[in-house]
Amino acid sequence: MNMVLLILSIILIATFGLSNLIYILISATTTYFAARAKKHKKLAFIGTIILNVGILVFFKFVTYNNFFNLIDSKNILVPLGISYYTFQVLAYLIDVYKGKIKAVTNFKDYLLFVFYFPYLIIGPINRYSDLSKTLYKKKKLEKDNILNGLVRITWGLFKKYVIAARIGLIVTTITSNLDYQGAYVLLALLLYSFELYADFSGGIDIVLGFSKMLGIILPENFDRPYLSRNLKEFWRRWHISLSSWFRDYIYIPLGGSKCGNFRKKINVIITFIVSGLWHGINYFFWGLFHGIIVAFQNKPNDNCKTLKIILNFILVSLLWIFFIYPNSITAFKMLITIFYKFNYLELFTNILNLGLDIPNLIVLIITLIILVISDIKNEKIKNILYNNKDEVKLIFICSMILIVLLLGVYGLGFNTSDFIYSKF
């Protein structure tokens, strides 16, 4: 079964272009042998890190961001999932080098760890110590796993195609016309918060659900992030696998919190700047602002919890400005309009010209309420779905399929098949 999974993953990666296979194979091979090196261990370790980080930097900055205008990048395609597998193999290599885990001795097993297809599109970034617990287990299709996996997949499809893609129509209308300012920008930002969350976590649900069907447990990437009381908490609950990767392999090597209060704050800011730059040059200020705010925040308490959650949500939303406009200068310009252009009445009267008619707006409002409730009552809903009779799960799966088919935004004329975070 594992061999089948590996071959299927290889075929799927190759369908996106043979070059994808070559780059991922380079990463897998170099880290596998570097981790097993007996002689010149440090040299192999550093050399492999430089090689893999170099490939990532080349594709993300020189080609994808066309950073220095050094080469004509139009014909160069960024390898599929390069960030995810590079972070994954680097974490593995560093953990082996530090003695936290033992090097894998079976190359085929290691290839499966790197090539396992589902995570390459959108994550999560897996740690070998976690993934290996279930990845190599003898697999047999079990009814419970299949049903629970399908519940998760259909819920992810609902979030992606019914909520995120529908919001995307409004956000795109607003952000593609810079005459939409003030209240429009604020609306776009608040909606984008939901769009990004529904799109990204929906994608993760699909990946985790598919893995669950095979009996493979991948780490959760979200823990109801918009219920966070401040940014510090938000980053423990949003894109958890990436945040923890930056914590373990950037923040802590920089000294973490063990080197004085001032240095700790600097380390936090540097870590967030690196995280911003990983998203792209245009996200530098996004990383910087997050870093500064997080550096000066403490662990939140429960006083005025709801108010804190709302304020934090607004803050996070405002900072997404760098995600919805093509460059930082435009982002700043449009952000400022929120604070001096009070065109809320105009927005209200013009709401039907932003890409959705009345039935679609009603669907959007209802589904957003469902999304919020599903986060607030997360445990209760999980209990109902996962600990109930199989019939309940089957009804949920069938209902979700019909709802997605009918109310989803997809098909001809809509470019909604890609996930927002797959470009990173």
The nearer residue to other proteins, 146 or 314, going by C-beta atoms, is 146
Both tokens of 91, joined, read: 């974490």
406 makes contact with other proteins (CB under 8 A): yes
391 makes contact with other proteins (CB under 8 A): yes
Stretch of residues binding other proteins (CB under 8 A), selected from 230-238, 291-299, 330-338, 404-412? 404-412
For residues 261 and 25, give the distance between their C-alpha atoms in angstroms, rounded to a whole number.
42
Binding mask 229-268 for other proteins (x = CB under 8 A): ----------------------------------------
- Nearest approach in angstroms of CB 128 to other proteins is 36
For residues 353 and 389, give the distance between their C-alpha atoms in angstroms, rounded to a whole number.
45
Q: What angle do CA 274, 194, 81 make, to 5 degrees?
A: 45
C-alpha of 378 from chain center: 20
- Nearest approach in angstroms of CB 369 to other proteins is 19
Both tokens of 254, joined, read: 């920089």
- From the list 262, 270, 216, 222, the residue with the least C-alpha distance to 242 is 222
402 makes contact with other proteins (CB under 8 A): yes
For residues 148 and 386, give the distance between their C-alpha atoms in angstroms, rounded to a whole number.
7
Which member of 75, 298, 358, 387 binds other proteins (CB under 8 A)? Answer: 358
Rg, C-alpha atoms of the chain: 22
Which member of 98, 140, 258, 389 binds other proteins (CB under 8 A)? Answer: 389
Q: What angle do CA 215, 218, 222 make, to 5 degrees?
A: 135
Which member of 102, 296, 394, 418 binds other proteins (CB under 8 A)? Answer: 394
Q: E strands, 114-250, where?
A: none
Restricted to residues 359-378, the positions that interact with other proteins (CB under 8 A) are 359-360
- Residues across the chain: 424
- Nearest approach in angstroms of CB 294 to other proteins is 42
- Nearest approach in angstroms of CB 416 to other proteins is 12
H-state helical runs in 58-101: 82-97
- Nearest approach in angstroms of CB 417 to other proteins is 11
The nearer residue to other proteins, 390 or 418, going by C-beta atoms, is 390
Q: Angle formed by the axes of helices 378-386 and 390-407, to 10°?
A: 110
Which member of 258, 357, 379, 387 binds other proteins (CB under 8 A)? Answer: 357
Both tokens of 49, joined, read: 């890190």
- Nearest approach in angstroms of CB 221 to other proteins is 29
* CA distances from residue 194 to 35, 70, 349 in whole angstroms, order as listed: 41, 37, 23
- Nearest approach in angstroms of CB 74 to other proteins is 21
Restricted to residues 126-145, the positions that interact with other proteins (CB under 8 A) are 143
Stretch of residues binding other proteins (CB under 8 A), selected from 185-193, 251-259, 309-317, 394-402? 394-402
345 makes contact with other proteins (CB under 8 A): no
For residues 77 and 79, give the distance between their C-alpha atoms in angstroms, rounded to a whole number.
6
302 makes contact with other proteins (CB under 8 A): no
The nearer residue to other proteins, 104 or 147, going by C-beta atoms, is 147
Burial 69-80 (b: 16+ CB within 10 A, else e): eeeebeeeebbb
Instruction: Enumerate binding residues for other proteins (CB under 8 A).
Output: 143, 357-360, 389-391, 394-395, 398, 401-402, 405-412
